[in-house]
Amino acid sequence: MSRIDAKSKTVLQTVAVVLFMGGMAWASVPFYNWFCRVTGFGGTTGVAEAGSDTILDRKITIRFDASKDRDMPWEFKPVVREMTLRIGETGLAFFEAYNPTDRVIAGQASYNVVPYDAGGYFNKIQCFCFTEQVLQPGERAQMPVTFYVDPDIVNDIDAKYINHITLSYTFHEIELPESEARAQSSELGQ
């Protein structure tokens, strides 16, 4: 009888380990996203309600990079490739997207900042990447991003020597929002 109890105990422990590991795998993505947002790890930027109250004399150059997922048919590029601002000064940059197709396309931009140590100090006040973008056939749009580099960057042992930051966006095609899909269906007479 003890041999059956030992097998049952082993099976229960194995099932418990599998369930625990599955739960940890399920929780790892939201936890990692939260960790990146809080710390700026992996080039994740901060979000701010307003610009900085402090503007330093030291300048920093922000470079802009644009790419798209290989299946995304849009054309996408920064309007200006780089700008130099004082640390804490609010910057405004534009990216341009163009839909050369004959269909409505929705897109969502993912982003990161390099070097990664700067991610926690790069703050977006307003950004096209916060929402989905929808372009009609042949439509061209300029999309703004308002940002600043937090003056606390000069106190960070790893980030204080950074003179250049690259803000990169990658556009991915997403499903049309329901309102756009309905409008397109009614135009087609469906």
Is pLDDT at 187 greater than 60 in this prediction? no
| Per-residue model confidence as pLDDT tens digits over 10-61 | 878 888 777 777 666 665 545 544 444 444 444 456 776 777 889 999 999 9
| Per-residue model confidence as pLDDT tens digits over 120-154 | 899 999 999 888 999 999 999 999 999 999 999 99
Q: What are phi and psi of 144, to 5 degrees?
A: -90, 155
Structure tokens that stand for 130 in this block: 């916060």
Q: What are phi and psi of 178, to 5 degrees?
A: -55, -40
Is pLDDT at 76 greater than 50 in this prediction? yes
Q: Quick one: DSSP state of residue 9?
A: H
**From the centroid of its chain, how far is CA 161?**
24
Per-residue pLDDT at 50: 78
Reduced to 3 states, what is the DSSP secondary structure of residue 137?
coil
What is the number of residues in the chain?
Answer: 190
Q: CA–CA separation, 141 vs 76, rounded Å?
A: 10
Is pLDDT at 188 greater than 60 in this prediction? no
Per-residue pLDDT at 176: 83
Burial 26-56 (b: 16+ CB within 10 A, else e): eeeeeeeeeebbeebeebbbbebeebbeeee
The whole model's pTM is what? 0.70
Residue 157: count other Cβ atoms within 10 Å of its Cβ: 7
CATH of 43-176, one of 3.40.30.10, 3.30.2130.10, 2.60.370.10, 2.60.40.1170: 2.60.370.10
The domains of the chain are located at 1-39, 43-176
Is pLDDT at 87 greater than 90 in this prediction? yes
